């Protein structure tokens, strides 16, 4: 494991997300989310590719902060930047277009990007079950689970442990 690269990515993500909070009921610091993805990949799924783990830490920097592709490429190189770009939504598009694009493009992603995407969805489902955004209605939470399942269809065959975790969470939809 390239710890220097990993620590640089962690510090970079923490700085970029420093003023952000999650929209969950507790308004947790945003950086907890990328750290959770990295934990899912490394601890729960035994994924130890340093570039995949760095991409997990950085996965929302372009989408949700002032970070640019050029800045990420300069700091972390082509592969990590490419992975981040693969899982980044085009925020200039309407939300429904972005959501449909995630469904349509899931199967076309590289295996490494699929790992990050699976971990992201796992963490989001866990957050909705544990501490949903206070303004989300039951219907919105159920809709997220339903949409997420459509994204999963395109990610199948990527990693059996991640897929099992994902399916276990989908089965908990009735707990909403």
Mean pLDDT across 42-57: 98
The CA–CA distances, whole Å, from 59 to 51, 52, 74, 116 equal 11, 10, 16, 8
175 has pLDDT over 80 = yes
1 has pLDDT over 80 = no
**What global pTM score does this model have?**
0.96
Mean pLDDT across 80-109: 96
pLDDT at 83: 98
Mean pLDDT across 76-105: 96
159 has pLDDT over 80 = yes
User: Which residues make Cβ contacts (< 8 Å) with residue 36, sequence separation at least 6?
Assistant: 123, 126
All structural domains of the chain with their residue ranges: 3-175
pLDDT at 2: 73
Active site residues: 63-64
Q: 169 in helix, strand or coil?
A: helix
Residue 20 DSSP symbol: -
52 has pLDDT over 90 = yes
Query: Residue 1: exposed, middle, or buried by beta-carbon count in 10 A (0-12, 13-18, 19+)?
Result: exposed
- Matching CATH number, 3-175, of 1.10.3210.10, 2.40.10.10, 1.10.1040.10, 3.50.30.60: 1.10.3210.10
Mean pLDDT across 68-80: 98
């Amino acid at each position: 494991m390239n710890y220097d690269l990993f620590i640089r990515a962690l510090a970079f993500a923490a700085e970029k997300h420093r003023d952000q909070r999650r929209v969950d009921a507790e308004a947790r610091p945003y950086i907890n989310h990328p750290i959770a993805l990295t934990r899912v990949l490394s601890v729960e799924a035994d994924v130890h590719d340093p570039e995949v783990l760095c991409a997990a830490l950085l996965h929302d920097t372009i989408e949700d902060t002032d970070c640019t592709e050029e800045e990420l490429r300069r700091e972390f190189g082509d592969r990590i930047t490419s992975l981040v770009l693969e899982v980044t939504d085009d925020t200039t598009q309407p939300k429904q277009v972005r959501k449909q694009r995630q469904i349509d493009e899931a199967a076309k992603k590289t295996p490494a990007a699929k790992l990050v995407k699976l971990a992201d969805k796992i963490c989001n489902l866990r957050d909705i079950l544990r501490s949903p955004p206070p303004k989300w209605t039951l219907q919105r939470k159920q809709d997220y689970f339903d949409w997420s399942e459509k994204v999963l269809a395109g990610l199948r065959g990527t990693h059996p442990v991640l897929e099992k975790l994902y399916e276990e969470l989908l089965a908990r939809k009735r707990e909403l």
